[in-house]
Amino acid sequence: MSAWVWLAVAGAGALGSVLRYTVDAAVGGRHAGTLPVGTLGVNLTGSLVFGAIAGLALYHAFPATPEVVLGSGLCGAYTTFSTFTFETTTLGREGERVAATVNVGLNLVGCCVSAALGLALASL
C-alpha cells in the first residue's frame, strides 16, 4: 500500500472518530435510560454504511482503495466494539443485567442486520 493510501486511511479514521463522538453525544444526550443508545446508534449506522461499501465493491466494482479508506478508515474508527464492551460490562457490574443482555443482543444482531441491509441496498 502506498503512503498516500496510509494517509487517506488515517484521515478517514480521524474523521470517523470525530463523527462517532458527535453522533454518540447527540443520540445519548437525548435518552435518559440505562441502555447506551448512542453507541448502539453509532454501531448500527456504521454497520449499514460498511455493508453498503462491501456491496458496492462486490456488485459494482467499487475500487479497492476507496473501499479500504472508507471501510477500514472511516467505518473502522466510527464504529466501536470496545465502547460497546465497556458499557455492557459496566451495566452488568451495576446490576443492570437485563439492560446488558439487551445491549448485547441489539448490538450483535442489529449490526449484522444493518450490514446485510447495506449489502442488499448496494446490490440494487
Place of cell 459496566: 90
Residue 112 has pLDDT above 90, yes or no: yes
**pLDDT given for residue 29 in this prediction:** 87
Percentage, residues of the chain above pLDDT 70: 100
Give tens-digit pLDDT for 45-102: 999 999 999 999 999 999 999 999 999 999 999 999 999 999 999 999 999 999 999 9
Residue 28 has pLDDT above 90, yes or no: no
**pLDDT given for residue 66 in this prediction:** 96
Look over the chain and give the mean of its residue pLDDT values, rounded to a whole number: 96
**pLDDT given for residue 9 in this prediction:** 97
Question: 48: Cβ–Cβ under 8 A, 6 or more apart, which residues?
Answer: 114, 115, 117, 118
